[in-house]
Amino acid sequence: MDSDMENIIFDVGQVLVKYDWETYLDSFGFPKEERDKIAEVVFQSNTWNERDRSSETEQYYVDQMVKAAPEYEKDIREVMRRSDETIEKTDYAETWVRYLKDKGYHVYILSNYATDTLERTEDKLTFLKYVDGAVFSCQVKQIKPEPEIYKTLLGRCHLDPEKSVFLDDRAENCEAARKQGIHAIQFKSFKQAAAELEKLGVN
């Protein structure tokens, strides 16, 4: 380990797993008008984001989505019932985490993730058994890019932000990490992120 970095912090969705709600939604074959409306009231909604906080029950969030488009109630409920299908394993995540651990780095998770989804996709998150710590939004009732969730991770895991680097696919989440003194890389692909880490001496 020839780097000033000691801690590698990963987001999960679109970093260590594939998250593809559009392909999933398209698989239902809804007419375009219905498909677009369901996208709006489900995956593109503030309710979906707040679901990651999981301050309410899953039933509550689904009911809120239905209220926004009651004409599609049956289909919205079915889309949400199977929403764990938006998550797929990647072929590199577990190997990457194990490689970093073998090199002497500490590895952590900081992810927006709903309680219901976490319970139903945990079998796809095989890398979790190798990490040193994890903060999921649903467990702390905080969501990125709010500063509190970064502070929770730093405090709970006793991390020095200057010796930590965070990988997330969303620019606003990376910027929020930088405001806490954490180095950040916006993830676009495994190859790109690995190259960016190497520039920080992580290899």
- The domain spans of the chain are 7-16+90-199, 21-86
Query: How confident is the chain (203 residues) per 10-residue block, as mean pLDDT?
Result: 86 98 98 98 98 98 98 98 97 98 98 97 96 98 98 98 98 98 98 97 91
Residue 115: the pLDDT is 97
Residue 166: the pLDDT is 98
Residue 27: the pLDDT is 98
Closest to 118 in 3D by CA, of 146, 141, 137, 132: 137
Question: Whole-angstrom Cα distance, residue 30 to residue 46?
Answer: 22
Residue 1: the pLDDT is 58
Q: Which fold has domain 7-16+90-199?
A: Rossmann fold (3.40.50)
The answer, yes or no, to whether the previous bond of 145 is cis (omega within 30 of 0) is yes
Residue 142: the pLDDT is 98
Question: Whole-angstrom Cα distance, residue 111 to residue 8?
Answer: 13
Residue 171: the pLDDT is 98
User: What are the phi and psi torsion angles at 186 (to 5°)?
Assistant: -80, 115
Collapsing DSSP to helix, strand or coil, 138 comes out as helix
Residue 87: the pLDDT is 97
Residue 144: the pLDDT is 98
